[in-house]
Amino acid sequence: MQDKVKFELEFPIHSSPTLLYQYISTPSGLSEWFADNVNSRGETFTFIWDDSEENAKLLSKKSGERIKFRWEDDEGESYYFEMRIQVDEITKDVSLMVVDFTDEDELEEAKMLWDNQISELKHVLGSV
């Protein structure tokens, strides 16, 4: 199996960091833009899209700042996906940083998927 490549994306978002954190860290917030439905039981989050279901383990989170998950399929690997809120100290501009891993031949698709997901997030936040 080939190693996955790490990539990082930055999305400027017109939102308060506090509100944005609710949308990236809670099942109800994630259900609004990331998946059709999200449930959590302890550290396990279940993401549901149409007829498919994926489980992810919550690896870490820092309130108001970031959240990191690992897909169940990647158990035992060092792969994860992280969403981190970054605020520019001078301008106070808010960005959502996304770190993820994918197969090299699927890199452009993965970036497009995140673009689409974050567009949906911006729409929900009224940050279009």
- Share the mean pLDDT of the chain: 95
Cα–Cα distance between 81 and 58 in angstroms, integer? 10
pLDDT band at 1 (very low <50, low <70, confident <90, very high): low
Average pLDDT score over residue span 60-89: 95
pLDDT at 8: 98
In order of 16, 21, 40, 74, 91, the CA distances from 81 in angstroms are 22, 15, 17, 11, 27
Task: Give one DSSP letter per residue of 42-64, joined into a string.
Answer: TTEEEEEETTEEEEEEEEEEETT
pLDDT at 127: 81
pLDDT at 75: 86
CATH number of residue 106's parent domain? 3.30.530.20
In order of 85, 96, 115, the CA distances from 20 in angstroms are 8, 9, 16
Domain total in the chain: 1
Structural domain boundaries, residue 20:
4-125
107, 115 contact by CB (below 8 A): no
